[in-house]
Amino acid sequence: MKFFLISDNVDTEVGMRLVGIEGVVVHGKSDFLRALETALEDPTIAIILVTTKLIELAPKIISELKLTQPRQLIVEIPDRHGTSEIGKAIDRYVSEAIGVKL
Protein backbone atom coordinates (compact mmCIF):
# COMPACT_ATOMS: atom_id res chain seq x y z
CA MET A 1 0.00 0.00 0.00
CA LYS A 2 1.30 3.43 -0.86
CA PHE A 3 0.71 7.15 -0.63
CA PHE A 4 -0.32 9.28 -3.62
CA LEU A 5 -0.31 13.08 -3.87
CA ILE A 6 -2.68 15.33 -5.78
CA SER A 7 -1.26 18.85 -5.62
CA ASP A 8 -1.98 22.27 -7.07
CA ASN A 9 1.70 23.25 -7.19
CA VAL A 10 4.98 21.76 -8.30
CA ASP A 11 6.85 22.63 -5.09
CA THR A 12 4.72 20.30 -2.99
CA GLU A 13 4.91 17.57 -5.62
CA VAL A 14 8.71 17.77 -5.79
CA GLY A 15 9.02 17.72 -1.99
CA MET A 16 6.85 14.63 -1.72
CA ARG A 17 8.70 12.94 -4.56
CA LEU A 18 11.95 13.44 -2.62
CA VAL A 19 10.55 11.25 0.17
CA GLY A 20 9.24 8.64 -2.26
CA ILE A 21 5.62 9.74 -2.72
CA GLU A 22 4.48 9.91 -6.33
CA GLY A 23 1.79 12.31 -7.42
CA VAL A 24 0.32 14.66 -9.98
CA VAL A 25 -0.08 18.42 -10.28
CA VAL A 26 -3.50 19.68 -11.38
CA HIS A 27 -4.97 23.15 -11.58
CA GLY A 28 -8.69 22.95 -12.30
CA LYS A 29 -11.66 21.26 -10.67
CA SER A 30 -12.24 18.83 -13.55
CA ASP A 31 -8.55 17.83 -13.61
CA PHE A 32 -8.62 17.39 -9.84
CA LEU A 33 -11.72 15.19 -9.89
CA ARG A 34 -10.29 13.10 -12.73
CA ALA A 35 -7.00 12.58 -10.82
CA LEU A 36 -8.93 11.74 -7.65
CA GLU A 37 -11.07 9.20 -9.48
CA THR A 38 -7.97 7.57 -10.96
CA ALA A 39 -6.34 7.38 -7.52
CA LEU A 40 -9.48 5.91 -5.96
CA GLU A 41 -9.54 3.16 -8.60
CA ASP A 42 -5.92 2.12 -7.90
CA PRO A 43 -5.93 -0.76 -5.38
CA THR A 44 -2.28 -0.14 -4.42
CA ILE A 45 -2.98 3.36 -3.07
CA ALA A 46 -3.97 3.49 0.62
CA ILE A 47 -3.63 7.21 1.41
CA ILE A 48 -4.39 10.06 -0.97
CA LEU A 49 -2.78 13.36 0.03
CA VAL A 50 -4.57 16.45 -1.34
CA THR A 51 -3.48 20.08 -0.94
CA THR A 52 -5.84 22.51 0.76
CA LYS A 53 -6.48 24.59 -2.36
CA LEU A 54 -7.74 21.53 -4.22
CA ILE A 55 -9.95 20.46 -1.33
CA GLU A 56 -11.55 23.92 -1.53
CA LEU A 57 -12.53 23.26 -5.17
CA ALA A 58 -14.88 20.42 -4.22
CA PRO A 59 -15.46 20.39 -0.45
CA LYS A 60 -18.81 18.55 -0.55
CA ILE A 61 -17.45 15.78 -2.77
CA ILE A 62 -14.38 15.36 -0.55
CA SER A 63 -16.46 15.30 2.64
CA GLU A 64 -18.74 12.66 1.16
CA LEU A 65 -15.79 10.54 0.04
CA LYS A 66 -14.14 10.81 3.46
CA LEU A 67 -17.30 9.54 5.10
CA THR A 68 -18.09 6.74 2.65
CA GLN A 69 -14.81 5.58 1.10
CA PRO A 70 -14.10 2.17 2.66
CA ARG A 71 -10.61 1.55 1.33
CA GLN A 72 -8.59 4.74 0.96
CA LEU A 73 -7.95 7.59 3.33
CA ILE A 74 -8.08 11.12 1.89
CA VAL A 75 -5.86 13.51 3.84
CA GLU A 76 -5.74 17.28 3.44
CA ILE A 77 -2.24 18.74 3.61
CA PRO A 78 -1.15 22.38 3.58
CA ASP A 79 0.80 23.57 0.59
CA ARG A 80 3.63 26.10 0.46
CA HIS A 81 1.14 28.91 1.08
CA GLY A 82 0.51 27.45 4.54
CA THR A 83 -3.08 28.11 5.45
CA SER A 84 -4.24 27.72 9.05
CA GLU A 85 -7.71 26.46 8.11
CA ILE A 86 -6.83 22.78 8.45
CA GLY A 87 -7.99 22.69 12.07
CA LYS A 88 -11.39 23.98 10.99
CA ALA A 89 -11.55 21.38 8.22
CA ILE A 90 -10.77 18.60 10.72
CA ASP A 91 -13.42 19.92 13.12
CA ARG A 92 -15.97 20.01 10.29
CA TYR A 93 -15.07 16.48 9.19
CA VAL A 94 -15.35 15.05 12.72
CA SER A 95 -18.62 16.92 13.30
CA GLU A 96 -20.08 15.43 10.13
CA ALA A 97 -18.83 11.96 10.97
CA ILE A 98 -20.21 11.80 14.51
CA GLY A 99 -23.09 14.23 14.15
CA VAL A 100 -21.99 16.49 17.02
CA LYS A 101 -20.75 20.05 16.58
CA LEU A 102 -17.37 20.55 18.24
Q: In terms of CATH architecture, what is 2-98?
A: 3-Layer(aba) Sandwich (3.40)
**Per-residue pLDDT tens digits for 37-83:** 999 999 999 999 999 899 989 999 998 998 888 889 999 888 766 55
The per-residue pLDDT for 67 is 86
CA dihedral 53, 91, 40, 46 (to 10 degrees): 110
DSSP-assigned beta bridge partners for residue 58: none
Tell me the backbone φ, ψ of residue 50, rounded to 5 degrees: -130, 130
Nearest by Cα to 72 from 45, 33, 36: 45
Which sequence spans correspond to the domains of the chain?
2-98
Which H/E stretch holds residue 3?
A: strand 2-7
pTM of the model: 0.79
